[in-house]
Structure 1
């Protein structure tokens, strides 16, 4: 994931994909998000479980502890280190799911510019990405230091020029990941060993000009004519 993704469906489409019967506390709105070209620092829909309820908020993509002012704001945490990394210690217990529609990779194919690819599920269902963060809840009102990071893995086998991709979970495991009663040790096992396989995804070339994040629209996720899907 080269720092760009799409989250264009609405919150209720993502809730349906999670298949959680709990009542929804919705602070994300009911309209489609229509984010086809979201970059770090964007406000993205994020799910977490609050008691018996599923809660959705718009939370900034990217987080760092307030003492780490001399480094860039991370957007991801590597799966093999996050559970025991002092940098993420404060948010490791705060598990969440960011449901997205696709993400992008840029690949050096020998031309003057890198070629962008779009990666999505073969069945076109939302992609349920494991995340951790600092986000609003009943005791914590939204504040400027809120944010989240994706759990990432260098799984390989896709268009993974950057050697990492989000840890994605099937709905059953996503629900277990969200459940506050799931022990931290079990959560670590889920993200390390039970993420979705490469075979669940397809990828294809898209047009080059994505550019500024103000450039939005469905044309950004359309395959180039002649591009082979599921490359």
Structure 2
């Protein structure tokens, strides 16, 4: 996973889709989420006795970090090591979350240039990335998205992908504890087949660009224009 995704559903829609109570102002739709951006997540809350829709900064900041900028390097946690990593293990056991998304972006090198692709459900349903969260110094909620080895057609675009959880796995994931291998199972072949790989405009590579136009098919460009990306 290259560190960009889209999440555009409203606060009301996400609350309904995830059966969660909103407890923070939603960051608003983004077609080009980048590291350290504010993002919506769903987690369990003892205070609210159930699921809450919250807002966190993307990039988990470990408790021992002196500077929250350390989170920029920790936007992803590998499924293979998340249960034993010093930075992630505690959150994996006790502070798991769902990160709502419409789809994510990957880039494929083609000679000197790169081609951008958007991976998204064919039926436009919401994706739930497996995530973990923590509170840095009791003032900053941060999160990471788990990644796993890409399978099937998706592996032709990138060797990693987000760990995506179908709805029936949400309760177990959010509950905390549990058996790590079962929690970290990859998508089934049928679930993988439901993901479309779509070429999109190269200007998604610039974090300053945002809007639904980024999800449209790329226009013909010259080789010189593409290598600028």
Aligned ranges 1:187-198 → 2 under 5 Å: 188-193=181-186, 197-198=191-192
In structure 2, distance between residues paired with 1:150 and 1:63: 9
1:88 — aligned with what? 88
Between Structure 1 and Structure 2, how many residues are aligned?
212
Residue 100 (structure 1) aligns with: 101
Report which of the two has the higher share of helix: 2
Taking the aligned partners of 1:99 and 1:11, their CA distance within structure 2 comes to 11
**Deviation, structure 1 residue 13:** 2.3
Q: Rate the CA distance shift 1:160–1:63 in 2: closer, same or farther, 3 A.
A: farther
Query: Secondary structure, in 3 states, of the residue corresponding to 1:189?
Result: helix
Structure in which a larger fraction of residues adopt strand = 2
Q: Relative to 1, partners in 2 of residues 1:87 and 1:50: Cα closer, same or farther, differing over 3 Å?
A: same
Evaluate the alpha carbon distance shift between residue 133 and residue 218 of structure 1 in structure 2; reply closer, same or farther with a 3 A threshold. same
Superposition pairs of residues 103-122 of structure 1, within 5 angstroms: 103-110=104-111, 112-122=112-122
Q: What residue number does 1:208 align with? A: 202
Deviation at 1:11, TM superposition (A): 2.5
Q: 1:179 to 1:195 in 2, by over 3 A?
A: farther
Deviation for aligned residue 1:173 = 0.6
Matched, 1:24 2:18: no
Task: Tell me whether 38-47 or 101-110 shows the greater mean CA deviation.
Answer: 101-110
C-alpha deviation, 1:64, in angstroms: 3.3
Distance 2:213 2:196 in 1: 18
Q: What secondary structure, in the 3-state scheme, does the structure 2 residue paired with 1:59 have?
A: strand
- Rounded to whole Å, the distance in 2 between the matches of 1:66 and 1:17 is 31
| Residue 133 of structure 1, CA deviation | 1.1
Report what 1:57 is aligned to. 54
Residue 229 of structure 1: aligned partner: none
The alignment partner of 1:213 has SS state of coil
- Return closer, same or farther for 1:176/1:28 CA change in 2, 3 Å cut-off: farther
- Decide which of 206, 214, 219 is 1:220's aligned counterpart: 214
Which structure 1 residue ranges, 5 or more long, are not aligned?
227-231
Aligned with 1:15: secondary structure? helix
Q: CA distance change for structure 1 residues 135 and 221 in 2, over 3 Å: closer, same or farther?
A: farther
Match for residue 9 of structure 2? 9
Q: Taking structure 1 as reference, are residues 116 and 28 closer, same or farther at Cα in structure 2, changes over 3 Å only?
A: same
In angstroms, what is the RMSD of aligned CA positions? 2.7
Following the alignment from structure 1 to structure 2, what is the Cα–Cα distance between the partners of residues 153 and 65? 21
What is the CA-CA distance between 1:223 and the residue it aligns to? 2.3
